A and B are shown apart, each in its own frame.
Chain A
Amino acid sequence: MPELKRRSIEVYNWFEQRLGLGGPVIEMAEHEVPSNTASWWYVFGSAATVILVLQVMTGILLALVYAPTAGHAWNSLEFLDHNVKLGWFLRAMHGWGSDFMVAIVLIHMAQVFLFGAYKFPRELTWIIGVFLLLLTLGMAFTGQVLRFDQDAYWGLGIGASIVSRIPWIGGPLVNLMLGGPIIAGPTLSRFFTLHVFVIPGILLAMVGLHIWMVLRLGINDWPMPGRLVNKKTYVREYHQLTEKSGIPFVPDAAWKDSLFAAAIMLAVMACALWFGPFGPTGQPDPTIIQTAPKPDFAFLWIYAVLAYLPPSLETPVLFIAPVLGIGAMLLLPLVSAEGEKHWSRRPVAVLMVAVIAVILGAFTRLGMYTPWSPVMNAWTSDPVPTAYLKDRTPLEREGALVLQNKQCRNCHSIGGAGGMRGPALDSVASHMTEDQIIRQVLQGGGNMPAYGNALSPSETTALVRFLTTLRGNDLAPAVDASQRLTSSSEPPAAPAKGH
């Protein structure tokens, strides 16, 4: 044994004499950090780095099989899922790793923001971090494109349509993005190049800079309320703190990082095993139009925002909001480089994080069930509940048929089934009079198309008769107040029995 140990030390020294890396690396690993930074709050950056390594490794393994051509990419993914041993697992690891990476980068960013770590002298670390977030999202989007299925194809269409709205240079930019006149072979090759060469190259270089600056400037000390950052005194104070309470990063602080990284890796593996790989959904054949494309999780909120913007605001918001948002993130450390770090003394910062988190969460939730989209098959798959047909006249029942046949259900729900684009019709007659319903059906309005051209007079009559019977749990029917005034002498007619 001692012989073996001696031999290995000799080998190490042989390399060390030539490389000279061991010394500096050990010194770097053991550098002193303030003991208060050995916290479970400080583990997200290293976890993101570990997932990045996972993504690089699984990505290389997938590239061994993946065929980056429009004609074969989808088939090669199916081949990976079904014919290559554990190919599905590697795809799942890469896909779930991507979701975890986006999530952890966002959590890391929120933590750094709330702990004031972007303040002097770490402004540039934050600014590079903003670019790292954008590059991570870029990897997520280009990765979704490489999963060349229906969602990827139409996702590219959405991307091209957004780019086409840029004033003046929109057209050339679309050509540059697609690499040709349509979404096809050159488009996939472009996104393959971006996903595999360009963005990872920049990403790895910037991660290197990011970590280098963390080592050079020291990790952010635990913020204390009332301990203000002052450019003149901060560096000296930080060094005093490190000298007073310093502990070697490895192993005294790093054990938490490495334990958390292991937990995250286990979580990625568990998700990959349990939920499996993402897609691919249908083939990227644009002639298959029976599809409802959706972006991946990280972009669902954008998808939802695009549904709610009014047409006149869409283009300005699409291009002004990102500039303001990214600009604000980049400028943040420059305009507030000094002062209070602790979150309890920065209510606006806390409020911003909360509001942004709620907004992203709410829009993502909406993006998951897309209430604005018509349910394309509701008119043939969701029958009118029988309770709504009981004790109805033949004309009213005919109206129920019209309601189904004219695809009203694609946007309107009855009995909880159907689209959510328009209001539910279960109690429509309790807040709209017959006249109002006729006008709404024929002329549309309020985001409803006019059906005057699609309905014959008899169909309209039947439909409206049926709709006037829909009064929820026997609510009073809506009445025209002016009509009641003119006919106040007549006794009110007994309302027809609702369901």
Chain B
Amino acid sequence: MTPNEQTPNDQVTTTESATTPASAPDKSAGHSRRVFLFKLSLLVNGAVGAVLAVPILGYLLGPALKKSSSDNSWINLGPLNDFPEGETRLVNFRNPVTTSWDGQTGDIPCWVRRVSGNTFQVFAINCAHLGCPVRWFAQSKLFMCPCHGGAYYEDGSRASGPPERGLFEYEYKIVSGSLVISAGKMPTLANQAKSESPLIQLEGTSAATETLPKPRCSSCQS
């Protein structure tokens, strides 16, 4: 940057004519004007970029800024008769939030334990350590994780291995003889699966979930 560029715009012509040969003033005057216009154009581009950044960042960060409570809704897992007392069974449900190109990844399994009567525990499939699928062993009454050997008791509490807490649990309720759980989001240590008391609006949507197709209950292990 030359000293000329740093001088205020209105003084440029006088300074330049004093220090440069007679033939140059016009060119120099034009030069400093062009420098100013160039800087102005940079400013304009900066402003355009800033405006453009809003939709880009909004698009990019959209999933991160979404409130996690909006992902959960009530899902019907089937009539209570499907779950014998004292048993823990694998139940699959279609995630409430899916895209049509999700394929099989939209089917989510969970472990349903009917303790007695209307008392249930619905565990997420994901190990509380690093999210691998835990398997139920009815004989030893343990959930075991194939990845790093985390183990949980039948009530989901931590038995051994690297997990720092028990299995994640879905909230459940019983609606007209069916087990309904609040699910929709992959449980991790950040959201703890067991969400706060559900919003009233969400409770109201449970009627809609009853029209959902019956989840496929497969590989029920006794």
- A: residues with CB less than 8 A from B are 69-72, 153-154, 157-158, 160-166, 170-176, 178-187, 283-287, 289-293, 303, 306-307, 309-312, 314, 372-374, 376, 379, 405-408, 410-411, 421, 444, 447-451, 453-454
- Chain A residue numbers with a CB within 8 Å of B65 are 172
Residue of B nearest to A304 (CB): B148
- Chain B residue numbers with a CB within 8 Å of A165 are 189-190
B149–A70 touching, CB < 8 Å: no
A286-B132 in contact given A186-B63, A307-B148, A448-B160 (Cβ < 8 Å): no
A184–B147 touching, CB < 8 Å: no
B188–A160 touching, CB < 8 Å: yes
Interface residues of B in 103-126 (CB under 8 A from A): 103-109, 125-126
Give bound CA distance, A384 to B147, whole Å: 25
B109–A289 touching, CB < 8 Å: yes
Q: Which of B140, B161, B163, B184 contacts A407 (CB 8 A)?
A: B140
Chain A's nearest CB lies how many Å from the CB of B159?
4
B90–A289 touching, CB < 8 Å: yes
Give bound CA distance, A71 to B153, whole Å: 35
B142–A154 touching, CB < 8 Å: no
Tell yes or no: B191 within 8 A of A by CB.
yes
Give bound CA distance, A449 to B152, whole Å: 8
A164–B191 touching, CB < 8 Å: yes
Tell yes or no: B130 within 8 A of A by CB.
yes
A182–B139 touching, CB < 8 Å: no
A164–B101 touching, CB < 8 Å: no
Give bound CA distance, A309 to B139, whole Å: 29
Give bound CA distance, A187 to B92, whole Å: 21
Q: Which of A157, A175, A178, A293 contacts B146 (CB 8 A)?
A: A293
A161–B188 touching, CB < 8 Å: yes
Q: Which 8 A-B pairs have the closest CB atoms?
A: A71-B103, A164-B188, A157-B131, A449-B159, A164-B190, A285-B104, A171-B190, A181-B71
B139–A407 touching, CB < 8 Å: yes
Residue in A166, A181, A293, A447 whose Cβ sees the most chain B Cβ within 10 Å = A181
Tell yes or no: B185 within 8 A of A by CB.
yes
A286–B108 touching, CB < 8 Å: yes
Give bound CA distance, A172 to B90, whole Å: 29
A154–B147 touching, CB < 8 Å: yes
A157–B141 touching, CB < 8 Å: no
Q: Which of A286, A290, A448, A450 contacts B105 (CB 8 A)?
A: A286
B185–A181 touching, CB < 8 Å: yes
| Contact mask for chain B residues 59-75; partner A; CB cutoff 8 A; 1 contact, 0 none | 00101111010010000
Q: Which of A283, A311, A453 contacts B164 (CB 8 A)?
A: A311
A181–B140 touching, CB < 8 Å: no
Give bound CA distance, A382 to B42, whole Å: 74
Q: Which of A162, A284, A287, A449 contacts B142 (CB 8 A)?
A: A449
- Chain A residue numbers with a CB within 8 Å of B63 are 175-176, 178-180, 186
- Chain B residue numbers with a CB within 8 Å of A379 are 139
B131–A154 touching, CB < 8 Å: yes
Give bound CA distance, A158 to B141, whole Å: 25
A72–B101 touching, CB < 8 Å: yes
Q: Which of A166, A186, A376, A451 contacts B144 (CB 8 A)?
A: A376
Residue of B nearest to A173 (CB): B64
Give bound CA distance, A287 to B184, whole Å: 15
Tell yes or no: B89 within 8 A of A by CB.
no
Tell yes or no: B10 within 8 A of A by CB.
no
What 17 additional pairs, Cβ within 8 angstroms, besides A175-B63, A178-B186? A69-B103, A71-B101, A154-B131, A158-B132, A160-B188, A161-B188, A165-B190, A178-B63, A182-B95, A182-B97, A182-B105, A184-B95, A289-B90, A289-B134, A307-B147, A407-B137, A407-B142
Number of interface residues of B (CB under 8 A): 59
Q: Which of A174, A292, A449, A450 contacts B147 (CB 8 A)?
A: A292
- Chain A residue numbers with a CB within 8 Å of B169 are none
- B: residues with CB less than 8 A from A are 61, 63-66, 68, 71, 90, 92, 95, 97-109, 125-126, 129-135, 137, 139-142, 144, 146-149, 151, 153-154, 159-164, 184-186, 188-191, 218
A157–B162 touching, CB < 8 Å: no
A183–B186 touching, CB < 8 Å: yes
Give bound CA distance, A258 to B141, whole Å: 61
Give bound CA distance, A285 to B104, whole Å: 5
- Chain B residue numbers with a CB within 8 Å of A291 are 133, 146
A70–B102 touching, CB < 8 Å: yes
- Chain B residue numbers with a CB within 8 Å of A410 are 137, 144
Q: Which of A160, A172, A292, A447 contacts B160 (CB 8 A)?
A: A447
B104–A283 touching, CB < 8 Å: yes
Give bound CA distance, A187 to B102, whole Å: 10
- Chain A residue numbers with a CB within 8 Å of B142 are 407, 449, 454
Give bound CA distance, A311 to B162, whole Å: 5
A161–B99 touching, CB < 8 Å: no
Residue in A161, A306, A379 whose Cβ sees the most chain B Cβ within 10 Å = A161
Give bound CA distance, A310 to B146, whole Å: 17
Give bound CA distance, A154 to B65, whole Å: 24
Give bound CA distance, A158 to B129, whole Å: 9
- Chain A residue numbers with a CB within 8 Å of B132 are 154, 157-158, 293
Residue of B nearest to A295 (CB): B147
Give bound CA distance, A164 to B154, whole Å: 25
- Chain A residue numbers with a CB within 8 Å of B133 are 154, 286, 289, 291
B149–A421 touching, CB < 8 Å: yes
Chain B's nearest CB lies how many Å from the CB of A189?
9
Give bound CA distance, A187 to B103, whole Å: 12
- Chain B residue numbers with a CB within 8 Å of A176 are 61, 63-64
Chain A's nearest CB lies how many Å from the CB of B150?
10
A454-B95 in contact given A185-B102, A314-B162 (Cβ < 8 Å): no
A293–B147 touching, CB < 8 Å: yes
A to B CB contacts below 8 Å, 23 in the list: A69-B103, A70-B104, A154-B133, A157-B131, A158-B147, A161-B131, A165-B190, A174-B186, A178-B63, A181-B71, A181-B95, A181-B185, A182-B105, A286-B105, A287-B108, A289-B90, A307-B147, A311-B162, A372-B148, A374-B151, A406-B140, A447-B161, A449-B142
A373-B188 in contact given A172-B64, A185-B101, A447-B161 (Cβ < 8 Å): no
Q: Which of A71, A162, A187 contacts B104 (CB 8 A)?
A: A71
Residue of A nearest to B133 (CB): A289
